[in-house]
Amino acid sequence: MAIASINPVTGEVLKTFEPLTDEELELKLELADRTFATYKHTSFTDRAQWLNQAADILEAKKSEFGIIITLEMGKTLKSAIAEVEKCANLCRFYAEHAPIYLADTPAFTDASRTLIRYQPLGIILAVMPWNFPFWQVFRFAVPCLMAGNVGLLKHASNVPQCALAIAEIFRLAGVPEGAFQTLLIGADRVAKLVADPRVKAATLTGSEPAGQSLAAIAGHHLKKVVLELGGSDPFIVLKSADLDLAINTAVTARVMNNGQTCIAAKRFILEEAIADQFTEKFVEKFKALKVGDPMQSETDVGPLATPQILTELDLQVKASTEAGAKVLVGGYRLPQEGNFYAPTILADIPLGAPPYQEEFFGPVASVFRVKNIGEAIALANSTNFGLGASVWTNDPQEIELAIEQIEAGAVFVNSMVKSDPRIPFGGIKRSGYGRELGIEGIREFVNIKTIWIN
């Protein structure tokens, strides 16, 4: 894919970029390697100061960055600005908490002193997607820099201006040159980078095929990898739930980011007793969504990021209806310029149709009916994905059952699934492995060194 900013509302090519030559890439690798030798000795105080400075820059220029995000990938400007604010919070949170998460931990043995020390590994490569073009990168970069590692970013090819803006933010914040660099390269250059002995580990957020490809190469070279891949999260609503709250949240959980979120609720699993009531209101709310120019404050749903995503989503909906699913609202691409798809709800989905196994990366909800929590959990677990799950009930036994039995990296009860700087994030099954954020996340890319002193 060419490295280019293309406005998803108009199809206009805003800017194109030449990928780095092999020589330029080598210079950046050399610089990262050299920088690590000194960066690893910087203090938490210095790193925290740089990241607090980065937070100041993000906050001061949030509208400017929000516009870049919206122009490149089409999310609503208000959500783009919120994403930038969230990155600022993340910087401040890790500036304060990373020294605690990475402090020596005592262990209790028969030695006179035993402890665990967390030391940086070196260059960490991040391969990132376009859907949260700031958040995904900061979620990697901030813990990476606080831990004393240096980062190389290969961002998605359709968000180069975001990629360059992020590198510039860290530069202006005072992060030493070479500690964080953006590489404008295509996906075909990733394998060689992973194999390079100077690159110590890699993290990829994106699709399953991309994750498989990177993990295979990293495995061959015995390098650690964190993978944050796709999801088809269940949103289970049981009869004791606060229905109005569940329905309002369901709409947001499905259509936020124009439906292109890994942890979006994608399969709505409803207990029969409330299924009709839920579905009726859910459809009403989908009909009321304003689709259009993401720059306008009244817009709820903007375009999909690329024409390919639009085509793929349309094919998935068609395959579902051909299999016998019913369209309750939407079900078509909008007859206008840009990558717009009508907010859609599918119901009466026959077993084996695409919503049972595939991720729908756009504003398409699939509704399923079940008799009880047992059936709900079985259906929730029947995909290959295992990222997040949202469960709505006020019955303590059902809450416990859901927490215990749902196969996912996160279960949120009476709340939509969120990525929050304070808690670990990641999946199981084909949604990937490893964690970002929280203590667990920041300790993914460190040498957990055991110290035994007799």
Q: Decide whether 214 or 291 has the Cβ nearer to ligand NAP.
A: 214
Catalytic residue status for 284: no
In 221-271, which residue ranges form alpha helices assigned H by DSSP? 243-255
Neighbours of 288 (CB within 10 A): 10
Q: Which is nearer to ligand NAP, 257 or 393 (CB)?
A: 257
Sole binder of ligand NAP in the list 262, 291, 313, 411 (CB under 6 A):
262
* Nearest CB to ligand NAP, comparing residues 359 and 398: 359
Nearest-approach distance from CB 3 to ligand NAP, in angstroms: 7
Of the two residues 184 and 376, which places its CB atom closer to ligand NAP in the complex?
A: 184
DSSP class of residue 295? T
Query: With binding defined as CB under 6 A, does residue 320 bind ligand NAP?
Result: no
262 part of the active site: yes
185-188 contact pairs (CB < 8 A, 24+): 185/3, 185/19, 185/20, 185/25, 185/154, 186/1, 186/3, 186/19, 186/157, 187/1, 187/127, 187/154, 187/157
Which CB, 232 or 393, lies closer to ligand NAP?
232
Q: Does 229 bind ligand NAP (CB under 6 A)?
A: yes
Please tell me whether residue 123 binds ligand NAP under the rule CB under 6 A.
no
Asked if 186 is part of the footprint of ligand NAP (rule: CB under 6 A), the reply reads: yes
Q: How many residues bind ligand NAP (CB under 6 A)?
A: 30
Between residues 214 and 246, which has the closer beta carbon with respect to ligand NAP?
Answer: 214
Residue 207 engages ligand NAP in binding (rule: CB under 6 A): yes
Confirm or reject binding of residue 160 to ligand NAP (CB under 6 A).
no
Give yes or no for residue 131 binding ligand NAP (CB under 6 A): yes
- Distance of CA 208 to CAs 137, 186, 211, 311, 358, Å? 19, 17, 5, 19, 11
Q: Which residue has the tokens 């084909």?
A: 430
Which is nearest to 219 in space by CA: 194, 189, 187? 194
Asked if residue 228 binds ligand NAP (CB under 6 A), the reply is yes
Which among 48-56, 69-77, 203-211, 282-290 is the span making contact with ligand NAP, rule CB under 6 A? Answer: 203-211
Residue 214 contacts ligand NAP per CB under 6 A: yes
Binds ligand NAP by CB under 6 A, chosen from 42, 52, 213, 381: 213
Using alpha carbons, select from 124, 132, 120, 156 the residue that is nearest to residue 42: 120
- The one catalytic residue in 262, 271, 359, 398 is 262
- Name the strand (E) or helix (H) holding 170: helix 160-172
231 contributes a contact to ligand NAP by CB under 6 A:
yes
The answer to whether residue 161 forms part of the interface with ligand NAP (CB under 6 A) is no
Q: What whole-number distance in Å separates Cα of residue 188 and Cα of residue 363? A: 30
> At 204, which helix (H) or strand (E)?
strand 199-205
- Is 201 a binder of ligand NAP (CB under 6 A)? no
Pairing of strands 432-433, 105-107: unpaired
Bridge partners (DSSP) of residue 179 are: none
CA dihedral 213, 215, 219, 224 (to 10 degrees): 150
Q: Does 362 bind ligand NAP (CB under 6 A)?
A: no
Taking the complex as a whole, the smallest distance from the CB of residue 250 to ligand NAP amounts, in Å, to 19
Active-site residue (options: 72, 83, 228, 358): 228
Residue 127 engages ligand NAP in binding (rule: CB under 6 A)? yes
Distances (CA, A) of 151 to 26, 75, 222, 311, 401: 15, 26, 19, 34, 41
Q: Following CA atoms 97, 121, 205, 356 in sequence, which dihedral angle do they give, to the nearest 10 degrees?
A: -90
Q: What values do phi and psi take at 360, rounded to 5?
A: -100, 110
**359 contacts ligand NAP (rule: CB under 6 A):** yes
Nearer to ligand NAP, 154 or 200 (CB): 154
Minimal distance in Å, beta carbon 276 to ligand NAP? 31
Widest pairwise Cα distance in the chain: 75
Alpha-carbon gap, residue 21 to 55, rounded angstroms: 32
Torsion of CA 132, 133, 136, 138, to 10 degrees: -130
Using the rule CB under 6 A, which residue among 35, 70, 157, 182 binds ligand NAP?
157
Q: Looking at beta carbons only, is 130 or 340 nearer to ligand NAP?
A: 130
Residues with catalytic roles: 228, 262
Residue ranges binding ligand NAP (CB under 6 A): 1, 127-131, 154-157, 186-187, 190, 204-207, 210, 213-214, 228-231, 262, 359, 361, 387, 427, 432
